[in-house]
């Protein structure tokens, strides 16, 4: 067996040991550099490496959805506005022309009803409209909202139709506006011919007949105490003819009583009379009331014909 002396072995292994030492030093340096890089790297970099470079942000995902929902809501708002304008024309030009909408206080109810309708419908559309829905599903959702919205609006408009003014009745010393739902409809058949049907549009100017018997007079007083006045009972109605006009003129007061009370009343009366420049001569007034509001007056000419209405308390 060949034996190698220690000095010869050391000389033979020295190159290998130097190579191993160099590799160890290089590995150690690389490891230290890696640790330093990881330690100094921002905390966010690790999570950024987990996200693909072509990933879409949350803002990019929500923007098309919001844009689509806003477009649908704006279209719904436009349609609702058109329907509301049609309802407004029907209510304020058909059933409640000036001054009846002021006297009966219908404007606040209408504004509240239309306001809720204009807000709730488009808001629901904004919440349910999504581009991911199929066209059929989206149409069904919008149709359901439209049906509910139109049903609520139709109910409100129908209620206003039931409470529309239909008769302006002269009774004793005043004019009273009567709504359709205040009339005792079971007595319509007992009304004079031509007055047995409640008009759908417009206000009929009427008067009241005198009591035929003492019992009828006492019964009328009892019903009036209970809140059912003669003006609400069609069997007491008569036409506002010449005799009724003459009776009204015996109770009417000169218009100077309103004009001379204060400057505001004078201005209001002059503004209303300017709308009827054809009316000439002396003018008079009587109070105008309703079951809901007072503070109005009817302006009459010398013949007892109604000229205008003014928002001044005729009982002053």
What is the spatial distance between Cα 279 and Cα 276, in angstroms, rounded to a whole number? Answer: 6
Which tokens is 119 given? 């807000």
- Interval 90-124: pLDDT, tens: 999 999 998 899 888 888 889 988 888 888 888 98
Tell me, what's the pLDDT at 39? Answer: 47
What is the spatial distance between Cα 104 and Cα 292, in angstroms, rounded to a whole number? Answer: 6
Name the average pLDDT for the chain.
82
Tell me, what's the pLDDT at 9? Answer: 47
Tell me, what's the pLDDT at 16? Answer: 56
Residue in 270, 240, 276, 275 with CA at minimum distance from that of residue 255? 270
Q: Residue 306, SS3?
A: strand
Residue in 149, 245, 230, 132 with CA at minimum distance from that of residue 190? 230
Q: Which residues contact 75 (CB under 8 A, 6 or more apart)?
A: none
What is the spatial distance between Cα 29 and Cα 122, in angstroms, rounded to a whole number? Answer: 67
Cα angle 281, 286, 290 (rounded to 5 degrees) comes to: 140
First to last CA, the chain: 146
* pLDDT band at residue 61 under the 50/70/90 scheme: low
- Interval 181-229: pLDDT, tens: 999 999 999 899 889 899 999 999 999 998 888 888 898 889 888 888 8
- Interval 243-285: pLDDT, tens: 999 999 999 999 888 888 788 888 888 888 887 766 667 899 9
Instruction: Kindly report the number of other CB atoms within 10 A of residue 115's CB atom.
Output: 11
What is the spatial distance between Cα 55 and Cα 10, in angstroms, rounded to a whole number? Answer: 61
Residue in 286, 316, 313 with CA at minimum distance from that of residue 299? 286
């Amino acid at each position: 067996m060949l034996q190698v002396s220690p000095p010869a072995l050391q000389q033979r292994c020295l190159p290998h040991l130097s190579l191993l030492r160099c590799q160890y030093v290089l590995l150690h340096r690389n490891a230290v550099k890696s640790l330093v890089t990881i330690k100094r790297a921002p905390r966010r970099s690790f999570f950024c490496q987990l996200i693909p470079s072509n990933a879409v942000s949350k803002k990019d995902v929500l923007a098309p959805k919001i844009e689509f929902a806003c477009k649908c809501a704006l279209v719904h708002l436009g349609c609702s506005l058109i329907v509301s304008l049609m309802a407004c024309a029907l209510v304020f030009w058909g059933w409640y022309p000036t001054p009846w909408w002021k006297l009966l206080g219908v404007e606040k109810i209408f504004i509240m009803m239309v306001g809720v309708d204009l807000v709730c419908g488009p808001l629901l559309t904004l919440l349910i409209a999504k581009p991911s829905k199929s066209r059929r599903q989206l149409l069904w959702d919008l149709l359901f909202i439209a049906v509910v919205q139109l049903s609520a609006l139709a109910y409100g408009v129908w209620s206003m139709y039931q409470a529309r003014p239909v008769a302006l009745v002269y009774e004793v010393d005043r004019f009273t506006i009567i709504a359709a739902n205040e009339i005792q409809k079971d007595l319509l058949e007992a009304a004079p011919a031509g007055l047995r049907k409640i008009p759908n549009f417009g206000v009929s100017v009427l008067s009241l007949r005198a009591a035929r018997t003492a019992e009828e007079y006492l019964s009328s007083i009892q019903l009036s105490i209970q809140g059912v006045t003669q003006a609400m009972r069609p069997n007491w109605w008569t036409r506002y003819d010449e005799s009724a006009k003459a009776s009204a003129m015996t109770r009417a007061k000169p218009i100077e009583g309103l004009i001379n009370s204060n400057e505001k009343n004078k201005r209001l009366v002059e503004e209303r009379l300017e709308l009827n420049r054809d009316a000439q001569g002396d003018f008079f007034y009587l109070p105008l009331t309703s079951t809901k509001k007072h503070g109005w007056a009817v302006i009459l000419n010398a013949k007892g014909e109604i000229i205008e209405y003014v928002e001044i308390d005729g009982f002053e």
